[in-house]
């Protein structure tokens, strides 16, 4: 989600195909064949594809620590098929206890050396290694502004919805582009961050996403919502994007529920509601004071399980008091690219919050209320 800097830097070719006709969309849910939205991650699902053409691929690791801090590190590979690929790091480290709030956006050379199995990578400053069992990532960043050493171990299992892709403009054979997401909804993270020469110990819960955007980002979505929530009992994640008008301005949502260390539900009939809107005079966007998130689905039908799936419902209303950052994306890219993208992107901004929240989780007849930390990201991309 935070890879808009690199995506916009790498997608400055002319905008085309923005006529009045609404084109078809085949969503993640439409690719489901067995009636169950949970899809098992297969052997090659976490491979780096490095697709040709206008595409951006990234892996991002989110961490909520036991002490109340929050961090993410992200490796981004962007390619438009004309220039050399761009490779970059984005990192956020936020710790209210030490009053640390640092964001790093580091551009590197095009070096991107994949392992033989394409699951691990070495760049100038960022190495990611996935062990043979595909259970633990080792993350290492060495840069004058940022040093990270962290183990990131999956809890239970990862997932994708259907094929893990939404196709824009047709089916797999005819689509103009696609969006792909694969998830580890819960992981255990442990390691160290050295930010501006200050050492921070990190231990807590994590969420991992491997994403590919197989076309220019401003043609995919007008806005994105993302949240990751961790408490002692539960881990929740939700990602929603609204397609551009060319693709019907529809909301495409996928979410997951981990309860007591077990992934129990993957759902698509979820909803994000922005409440108590107030205009940000600086950006002129209407920004919520509260965000209501609801998950609606069924428990995962396990192999050999003869019991019927149970209804699952989660509701969480977050009062977004703690704005971690408001990022003017155009300020993060070079001047000449900024002048190009200004012609077709309307003031792209990213809002990030970290707040305490309570989630009410209902599984069948059983209800759990749990309090934890919720990171939310609201991205405004374009008005297409």
pLDDT surpassing 50 at residue 134: yes
Which tokens sit at 286? Answer: 């209407």
Question: What is the pLDDT at residue 228?
Answer: 98
> Per-residue confidence at 316, pLDDT binned at 50, 70, 90?
very high
Instruction: Judge whether 182 and 210 are in contact, CB under 8 Å.
Output: yes
pLDDT surpassing 70 at residue 334: no
Q: What is the mean pLDDT of the chain?
A: 89
Burial of 271 (0-12, 13-18, 19+ CB in 10 A): middle
- Cα–Cα nearest to 204, from 95, 290, 121: 95
> Per-residue confidence at 136, pLDDT binned at 50, 70, 90?
very high
Q: Map residue 31 onto helix, strand or coil.
A: helix
Picking from 226-240, 244-258, 321-335, 351-365, which range would have the lowest pLDDT averaged per residue? 321-335
| Each residue's pLDDT tens digit, 27-39 | 999 999 888 899 9
pLDDT surpassing 80 at residue 204: yes
Mean pLDDT of 54-80: 93
| Each residue's pLDDT tens digit, 158-177 | 999 999 999 998 888 778 88
Q: What is the pTM of this model?
A: 0.92
């Amino acid at each position: 989600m935070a890879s808009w800097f690199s995506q916009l830097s790498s997608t400055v070719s002319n905008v085309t195909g923005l006529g009045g006709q609404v084109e078809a969309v085949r969503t993640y849910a439409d690719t489901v064949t067995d009636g169950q939205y949970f899809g098992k991650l297969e052997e090659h699902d976490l491979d780096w594809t490095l697709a040709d053409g206008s595409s951006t691929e990234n892996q991002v690791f989110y961490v909520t620590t036991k002490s109340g801090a929050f961090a993410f590190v992200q490796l981004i590979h962007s390619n438009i098929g004309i220039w050399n690929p761009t490779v970059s790091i984005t990192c956020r480290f936020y710790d209210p206890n030490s009053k640390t709030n640092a964001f790093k956006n580091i551009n590197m050379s095009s070096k991107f050396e994949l392992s033989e199995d394409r699951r691990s990578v070495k760049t100038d400053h960022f190495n990611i290694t996935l062990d043979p069992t595909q259970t633990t990532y080792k993350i290492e960043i060495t840069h004058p502004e940022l040093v990270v050493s962290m183990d990131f171990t999956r809890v239970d299992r990862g997932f994708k919805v259907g094929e893990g892709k939404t196709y824009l403009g047709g089916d797999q054979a005819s689509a103009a582009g696609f969006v792909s997401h694969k998830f580890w909804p819960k992981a255990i993270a442990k390691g160290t961050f050295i930010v501006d020469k200050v050492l921070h110990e990190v231990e807590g819960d994590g969420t991992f996403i491997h994403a590919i955007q197989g076309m220019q980002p401003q043609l995919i979505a007008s806005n994105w919502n993302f949240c990751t929530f961790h408490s002692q009992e539960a881990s929740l994640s939700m990602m929603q994007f609204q397609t551009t008008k060319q693709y019907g301005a529809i909301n495409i949502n996928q979410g997951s529920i981990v309860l007591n260390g077990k992934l129990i539900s993957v759902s698509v009939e979820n909803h994000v509601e922005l409440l108590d809107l107030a205009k940000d005079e600086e950006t002129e966007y209407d920004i919520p004071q509260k965000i209501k998130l609801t998950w609606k689905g069924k428990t995962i039908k396990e192999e050999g399980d003869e019991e019927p799936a149970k209804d699952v419902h989660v509701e969480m209303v977050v009062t977004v008091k703690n704005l971690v950052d408001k990022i003017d994306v155009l300020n993060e890219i070079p001047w000449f690219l900024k002048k190009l993208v200004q012609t077709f992107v309307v003031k792209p901004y990213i809002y990030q919050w970290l707040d305490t929240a309570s989630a009410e989780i209902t599984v069948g007849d059983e209800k759990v209320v749990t309090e934890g930390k919720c990171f939310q990201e609201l991205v405004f991309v374009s008005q297409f």
